[in-house]
């Protein structure tokens, strides 16, 4: 179904990475690269192409806002769809203002993730 879609999933909380990647797998997404903070994600994005960036907001080393800023100013990545996943609703508007395409609040259900991904064209 979604076997050709390559997703970069970023979160500093290992359990969240596990839960999110498991849900993505159940939705048919098989190519999921994991990163543990924004800096690691930025390095991945510079090495290889991705179809979707799913990132936490509050992380050490480089937070989601700074990661989005770097992505949006890079000519080859500026149109990359970005879904911010955050446990704090206060970050939602800021994430969209920084350039995120959509926001998903933690904890989330598979059905809500499916809706957000459909809104982004996946």
Please name every residue paired with 56 in a beta bridge, in sequence order, or none if there are none. Answer: 85
What is the pLDDT at residue 38?
97
> Quick check: 61 and 36 in contact, CB under 8 A?
no
Using 50 as the pLDDT threshold, list the residues of the chain that sit under it: none
What is the pLDDT at residue 99?
96
Provide the residue count of the chain: 122
What is the pLDDT at residue 39?
97
Within a 10 A sphere around the Cβ of 114, how many other Cβ atoms?
Answer: 15
Q: What's the whole-model pTM score?
A: 0.96
What is the pLDDT at residue 3?
73
Within a 10 A sphere around the Cβ of 90, how many other Cβ atoms?
Answer: 8
H-only helix segments in 33-120: 38-47, 64-73, 91-98, 110-119
Q: Retrieve residue 61's tokens.
A: 């080393």
What is the pLDDT at residue 1?
55
Residues with Cβ < 8 Å from 87, sequence gap 6 or more? 58, 105, 106, 107
Longest dimension (CA), the chain: 35
């Amino acid at each position: 179904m979604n076997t050709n879609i390559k997703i970069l999933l970023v979160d500093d909380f290992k359990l969240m990475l596990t839960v999110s990647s498991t849900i993505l797998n159940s939705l048919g997404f098989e190519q999921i690269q994991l990163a543990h903070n924004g800096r690691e994600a930025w390095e991945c994005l510079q090495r290889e192409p991705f179809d979707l960036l799913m990132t936490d907001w509050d992380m050490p080393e480089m937070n989601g806002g700074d990661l989005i800023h770097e992505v949006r100013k890079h000519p080859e990545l500026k149109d990359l769809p970005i879904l911010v996943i955050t446990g704090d609703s206060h970050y939602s508007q800021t994430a969209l203002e920084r350039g995120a395409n959509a926001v998903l609040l933690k904890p989330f259900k598979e059905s809500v993730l499916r809706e957000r991904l459909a809104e982004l064209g996946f």
